[in-house]
Amino acid sequence: MVFLSTTHLIHSIAIIMTTKRQFTYAIGDRVAERPKPTGLLTKYYDVAQRIAKYRTQRYGYVVEIKEKTDASGRRRKVLMVQWDHLSLPTEHATMRICPASEIARLTKEVIVPGE
């Protein structure tokens, strides 16, 4: 019987997965908020209406790229995005943003069945 230790292999895969960048951004890029599941279940119509106004897709442009240190000491890139409907830019983690050209493909991956 042969016993193989996979701890090193699993650790290596985890490092590769956490350091992989899906998209690279530059100042001036057209971006969108990553799509979220849009299923909404509520008992009351007025509650659904109040929530619905915050569930629209946002589009904007990258105006600045910063590096911040999180609580565990890791440095992460954050984007300052000027959204089309706002007057001031807001800060977002790169994992919550995607290129506007990719929004259709990514939306198909998160669609809730029945919508």
- pLDDT, averaged across the chain: 79
| 115 vs 61 pLDDT, higher one | 61
Q: What is the mean pLDDT of residues 36-45?
A: 73
Torsion sign (Cα): 97, 106, 56, 27: positive
Map out the domains of the chain with their CATH numbers: 23-110 (2.30.30)
| 8 vs 91 pLDDT, higher one | 91
Quick count: other Cβ atoms within 10 Å of Cβ 79? 23
29 closest CA partner among 110, 105, 103? 103
**pTM of the entire predicted model:** 0.66
